[in-house]
């Protein structure tokens, strides 16, 4: 039995990622896209309640998840791909397509990994939820009583080649900084009430990995005007810096950080006075971005000095297929596994009345059917035909799973059912697909697709 199982997995590596019930679905069974019941008393099919809104970031994340699946470990590969096992042993489970009040379509009935580091789609969902938590805390506390502290180390390839080592060392440096009576006196002087710490990192070919810390400080009182100075940063921008008065002000924090870096990593990693430690007031425009919670398109935004974020490395791999990028992504995933993205000071969440929820709980929120309506269900065999395929659209490559959601948001139930049959059955060959009657003339001209038989690549034009 064990040898038979090994041969099965060798022949089909993804077989172990899906529920065993799928094996009970006969291969000769025709794929079926099951329609949902009409949503109103007149029996009319569902139609979008709001105009179609393009979501380029979500679209990109679906595409990245499909492209990275060949590099991921099994638990991450199963995310958004495997069907949640059914409690009924005779059933293989189903995937439902639901639409929320904002006309946003999504899938339910799929496995989620909840990894904020390795999974693009879970990362998007988790960051959106964490950003709401941070924004609520800042708004309720008052943005004038918040400050942003940025801490970094000198980065070069001497230490930047080993991300796991430098990440753990950076965490140890922070523990050294906040340990002991000197830090307690510093907290009292500045009036620091609570903190939220985030890890951010980029990669450059010249210096390797460069992790750094951003710490959001909640203060008892806002900084006085005479403690704020307008300075020019390394990019030539005018920014405000906070220089607290007293013997243990900003200079003490800068020196303590540099000393702890040198004690942990050596003199070659000691940062200079300009870049090692910066303390400034909190601005609504950038505190979400500094904490790494900004939902930007990795295909557009580039790090400073040609540095790349992990998602930009992933995007380059999916676009060009370079082995160098594949190795960097796998090294990043191995090094960041188990690391915390946000670290709240003890009692911070309780003070603001925020429930403690894991990343997996937040990732599974998309499957919560509260205030949603089910517009279609897809059986297990049809889902196997749909998942993992890529569609070349007029705006670039797109995951077939996301393209189906776009069709639902654009044309309603008629467009959704046609898109499901188009992708799942592949029976139309190169024939044009008629657009739903409620689309405009320009949308009808773009609503055609061609299926390549025998492969996993589909080509289609997305309705404008």
> Which of the given ranges, 6-20, 74-88, 387-401, has the highest pLDDT on average?
74-88
Which stretches of 83-156 are DSSP H helices? 120-141
Judged against a pLDDT cut of 60, whether residue 366 lies above it is answered with yes
**pLDDT, position 75:** 92
For the cut 50, the answer to whether the pLDDT of residue 7 exceeds it is: no
pLDDT at 30: 41
Q: What is the mean pLDDT of the chain?
A: 76
Mean pLDDT for the stretch of residues 434-460: 31
How far out from the chain centre does Cα 316 lie? 16
φ, ψ for residue 58 (rounded to 5)? -65, -40
Helix (H, G, I), strand (E, B) or coil at 430: coil
- Evaluate if residue 241 carries a pLDDT over 60: yes
Mean pLDDT of 422-447: 38
What SS3 class is residue 215? Answer: strand
pLDDT of res. 24 = 37
Cα→Cα distances 91→22, 29, 87, Å: 8, 14, 8
Tell me the Cα Rg of the chain.
25
208: phi > 0 → left, psi -120 to 50 → alpha, else beta; which?
left
pLDDT in tens, 46-67: 777 777 888 888 999 999 999 9
- 369 closest CA partner among 11, 97, 143: 97
Contact 241, 278 (CB under 8 A): yes
- Report the Cα 137 to chain-centroid distance in Å: 21
Q: Residue 241 pairs with which residues in a beta bridge?
A: 229
Q: Which residues contact 145 (CB under 8 A, 6 or more apart)?
A: 218, 219, 220, 221, 222
pLDDT exceeds cutoff 90 at 327: yes
Weakest-pLDDT range from 37-46, 121-130, 211-220, 406-415: 37-46
pLDDT at 279: 84
Is the distance from CB of 259 to CB of 253 less than 8 angstroms?
no
pLDDT band at 11 (very low <50, low <70, confident <90, very high): very low
SS3 percent helix, strand, coil of the chain, rounded to 5, is 45, 20, 40
What does each C-alpha distance from 322 to 69, 230, 316, 318 come to in angstroms? 15, 44, 8, 8
Q: CA nearest 17: which of 68, 84, 66, 93?
A: 84
Q: H-helix or E-strand containing 392?
A: strand 390-393
* DSSP reduced 3-state for 355: coil
Average pLDDT of the residues in 295-319: 77
User: Given a cut of 60, is residue 10 above it in pLDDT?
Assistant: no
The answer to pTM > 0.85 is: no
Q: Are strands 208-219 and 146-151 parallel, antiparallel or unpaired?
A: antiparallel
Nearest alpha carbon to residue 202 among 297, 312, 283, 40: 312
Map tokens 């676009």 to a residue.
319
Find the mean pLDDT for residues 131-145: 91
291 pLDDT more than 90:
no
Pick the more confident residue, 146 or 389. 146
The distance of Cα 164 from the centroid of its chain, to the nearest Å, equals 21
pLDDT average, residue stretch 247-267? 82
Q: What's the confidence (pLDDT) of residue 21?
A: 35
The pLDDT score that the predictor gives to residue 113 is 93
CA distances from 198 to 154, 290, 291, 358, 456 (A): 18, 8, 5, 16, 39
426 or 420, higher pLDDT:
420
> How many C-beta atoms surround the C-beta of residue 391 within 10 A?
27
Q: Please give the pLDDT value at position 68.
A: 93
Residue 88 has pLDDT above 70, yes or no: no
Among 141-145, 152-156, 287-291, the range with the most confident prediction by mean pLDDT is 141-145
Distance between CA atoms of residues 460 and 446, nearest Å: 9
Is 50 exceeded by the pLDDT of residue 15? Answer: no
Distance CA 369, CA 141 (A): 32
In the predicted model, is pLDDT for residue 439 greater than 70? no
What integer pLDDT is reported at residue 246 of this predicted model?
Answer: 59
| Cβ-proximal residues to 350 (8 Å cutoff; 6+ apart), any chain | none
Which of 28-32, 263-267, 321-325 is most confident? 321-325
Is 90 exceeded by the pLDDT of residue 380? no
Compare 56 and 461 and report the one with higher pLDDT: 56
DSSP string computed for 295-330: ---TTT---GGG-B-HHHHHHHHHHH--HHHHHHHH
pLDDT surpasses 80 at 180: yes
Q: Can you tell me whether residue 376 is helix, strand or coil?
A: strand
Secondary structure of residue 401 in the 3-state scheme:
helix
CB 81 within 8 A of CB 70: no
User: Residue 232's pLDDT is what?
Assistant: 59
What is the predicted pLDDT for the residue at 14? 36
Q: Report which of 118, 294, 277 is spatially closest to residue 212, judged by C-alpha positions.
A: 277
Q: Report in angstroms the alpha-carbon separations of 160 from 156, 157, 378.
A: 6, 5, 46
The more confident residue out of 369 and 123 is 123
Which pLDDT band holds residue 282 (cuts at 50, 70, 90)?
Answer: confident
What is the pLDDT confidence band of residue 310, given thresholds at 50, 70 and 90? Answer: very high
- Whether 374 has a pLDDT exceeding 70, the answer reads yes
Q: Which H helix or E strand runs over 373?
A: strand 373-379
State the pLDDT at residue 442: 34
How confident is the model at residue 420, as a pLDDT? Answer: 82
Q: Look up residue 455 and give its DSSP letter.
A: S
Model pLDDT, residue 249: 58
Single out the residue of 402, 329, 381 nearest to residue 163, CA to CA: 329
pLDDT at 425: 66
198 has which bridge partners?
214, 342
In whole angstroms, give the CA distance from residue 41 to residue 60: 38
pLDDT of residue 217: 92
Three-class SS of residue 130? helix
pLDDT at 450 over 80: no
């Amino acid at each position: 039995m064990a040898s038979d199982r090994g041969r099965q997995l060798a022949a089909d590596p993804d077989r172990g990622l899906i529920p065993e019930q799928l094996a009970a679905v006969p291969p000769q069974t025709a794929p079926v896209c099951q329609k949902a019941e009409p949503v109103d008393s007149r029996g009319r099919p569902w139609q979008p309640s709001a105009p179609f809104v393009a979501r380029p970031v979500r679209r990109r994340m679906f595409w990245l998840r499909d492209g990275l699946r060949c590099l991921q470990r099994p638990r991450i590969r199963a995310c958004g791909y495997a069907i949640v096992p059914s409690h009924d042993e005779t059933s293989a489970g189903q995937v439902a397509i639901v639409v929320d009040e904002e006309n946003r379509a999504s899938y339910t009935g799929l496995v989620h990994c909840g990894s904020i580091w390795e999974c693009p789609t879970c990362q998007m969902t988790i960051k959106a939820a964490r950003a709401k938590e941070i924004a609520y805390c800042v708004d309720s506390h008052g943005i004038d009583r918040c400050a942003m502290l940025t801490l970094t180390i000198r980065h070069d390839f001497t230490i930047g080649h080993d991300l796991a080592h430098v990440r753990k060392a950076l965490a140890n440096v922070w523990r050294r900084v906040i340990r002991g009576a000197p830090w307690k006196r510093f907290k009292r002087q500045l009036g620091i009430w609570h903190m939220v710490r985030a890890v951010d990192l980029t990669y450059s070919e010249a210096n390797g990995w460069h992790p750094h810390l951003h710490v959001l400080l909640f203060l008892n009182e806002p900084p006085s005007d005479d403690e704020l100075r307008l300075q020019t940063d390394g990019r030539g921008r005018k920014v405000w810096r906070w220089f607290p008065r007293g013997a243990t002000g900003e200079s003490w924090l800068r020196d303590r950080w540099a000393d702890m870096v040198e004690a942990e990593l050596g003199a070659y990693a000691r940062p200079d006075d300009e870049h090692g430690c910066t303390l400034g007031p909190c601005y609504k425009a950038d505190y979400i971005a500094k904490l790494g919670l900004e939902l930007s398109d990795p295909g557009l935004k580039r790090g400073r000095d040609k540095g790349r974020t992990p998602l930009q490395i992933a995007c380059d791999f999916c676009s060009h297929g370079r082995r160098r990028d594949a190795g960097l992504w796998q090294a990043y995933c191995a090094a960041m596994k188990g690391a915390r993205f946000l670290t709240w000071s003890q009692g911070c969440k309780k003070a603001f009345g925020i429930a403690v929820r894991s990343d997996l709980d937040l990732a599974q929120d998309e499957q919560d059917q509260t205030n949603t309506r089910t517009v279609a269900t897809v059986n297990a065999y049809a889902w196997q035909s749909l998942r993992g395929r890529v569609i070349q659209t007029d705006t670039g490559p797109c995951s077939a799973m996301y393209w189906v959601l776009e069709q639902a948001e654009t044309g309603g139930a008629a467009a959704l059912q046609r898109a499901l049959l188009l992708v799942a059955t592949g029976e139309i060959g190169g024939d044009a697909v008629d657009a739903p009657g409620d689309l405009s003339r320009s949308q009808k001209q773009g609503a055609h697709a061609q299926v390549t038989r025998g492969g996993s690549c589909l080509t289609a034009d997305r309705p404008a």
